[in-house]
């Protein structure tokens, strides 16, 4: 059994990041930011531009403005434009990672309680999860605006645990970036790293108790383990 599967199996509460962990939404974030900047008369996003894919929206926009040497006075207008563009999006440029739905279904069947802890706004997180048919798997969804602070602060993850009446030792946070890892550490929760997301390995690896590359690998691992046990029986 892999270390990732072992970590999941021994925790009752599984908490997931959203962008870069459950859903590959990086192209959507980049495209929406591009449109919002252009709506405000600011240079848009080209293919070589770095885009902050793991922070709350305000930090994503702040970083984009700083990268363009644009005044911070543009922040409210770009935030509003981003919100309008995102609200009109049908998530055409986003897709759940392969195997996610089957993995979540398998974990519910095994008796785990599942939740989401994301730096996406709460309302948009709910809309995205519902759009992709994932919402019903989760006992709770906490967004960047749900707690007193967003990740990497412990507050949103602590709120998840509070709502599920769980202790840190019962939970694991599955995420793709150092922001998730630092949040988990601050809350005293184990961190499982999704390496196929948006995280910088040099920043993220130090926080992880285990790592995996795809949800399909975890599902195949479960199947292989069950087959081996049945043969032993």
pLDDT digits (tens, 9 = 90+) for 36-74: 999 999 999 998 899 999 888 999 999 999 999 999 999
Is residue 173 within 8 Å of residue 207, measured between CB atoms?
A: no
Q: Give the Cα separation of 131 and 189 in Å (integer).
A: 29
- Summarised one tens digit per residue, pLDDT across range 184-233 is 999 999 999 999 999 999 999 999 999 999 999 998 887 554 444 343 44
Which residue has tokens 């069950």?
226
Q: What six digits make up the tokens of 45?
A: 């996003």
DSSP letter, residue 97: P
Q: What six digits make up the tokens of 79?
A: 């935030």
Q: What are phi and psi of 12, to 5 degrees?
A: -80, -35
pTM of the model: 0.92
Helices (H), 72-138: 75-87, 100-109, 122-131
Give the SS3 label for residue 135. helix
33-68: b (≥16 Cβ within 10 Å) or e: bbbbbebbebebbeeeeeebbbbbbbebbbebbeee
So what's the pLDDT on residue 87? Answer: 87
- Summarised one tens digit per residue, pLDDT across range 105-132 is 999 999 999 999 999 999 999 999 999 9
What confidence category does residue 1 fall into, taking pLDDT thresholds of 50, 70 and 90?
Answer: low
Q: Is the pLDDT of residue 104 over 80?
A: yes
Which residue has tokens 């996406």?
120
Going edge to edge, which strands form the sheet with 171-175? 140-142, 113-117, 13-16, 171-175, 190-194, 210-212
Query: How high is the mean pLDDT of the chain?
Result: 93
Tell whether domain 3-25+95-232 is in CATH 3.90.226.10: no
For residues 172-184, give the mean pLDDT.
97
Give the SS3 label for residue 164. coil
Which residue has tokens 């946070």?
173
């Amino acid at each position: 059994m892999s270390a990732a599967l072992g970590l999941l199996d021994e925790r009752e509460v599984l908490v997931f990041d959203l962008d870069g962990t459950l859903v590959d939404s990086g192209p959507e974030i980049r495209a929406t930011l591009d449109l919002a900047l252009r709506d405000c008369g600011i240079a848009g996003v080209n293919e070589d531009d770095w885009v902050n894919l793991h922070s709350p929206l305000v930090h994503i926009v702040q970083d984009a403005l700083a990268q363009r040497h644009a005044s911070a006075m543009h922040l409210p207008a770009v935030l509003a434009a981003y919100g309008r563009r995102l609200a009109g999006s049908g998530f055409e440029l986003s897709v759940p990672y392969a195997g996610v739905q089957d993995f979540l279904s398998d974990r519910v069947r095994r008796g785990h309680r599942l939740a989401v802890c994301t730096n996406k706004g709460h309302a948009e997180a709910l809309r995205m999860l519902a759009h992709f048919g994932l919402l019903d798997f989760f006992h709770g969804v906490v967004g960047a605006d749900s707690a007193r602070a967003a990740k990497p602060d412990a507050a949103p993850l602590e709120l998840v645990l509070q709502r599920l009446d769980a202790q840190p030792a019962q939970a694991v946070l599955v995420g793709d970036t150092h922001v998730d890892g630092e949040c988990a550490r601050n809350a005293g929760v184990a961190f499982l790293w999704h390496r196929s997301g948006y995280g910088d390995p040099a920043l993220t690896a130090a926080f992880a108790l285990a790592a995996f590359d795809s949800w399909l690998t975890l599902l195949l691992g479960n199947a292989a383990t069950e087959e081996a046990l049945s043969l032993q029986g």
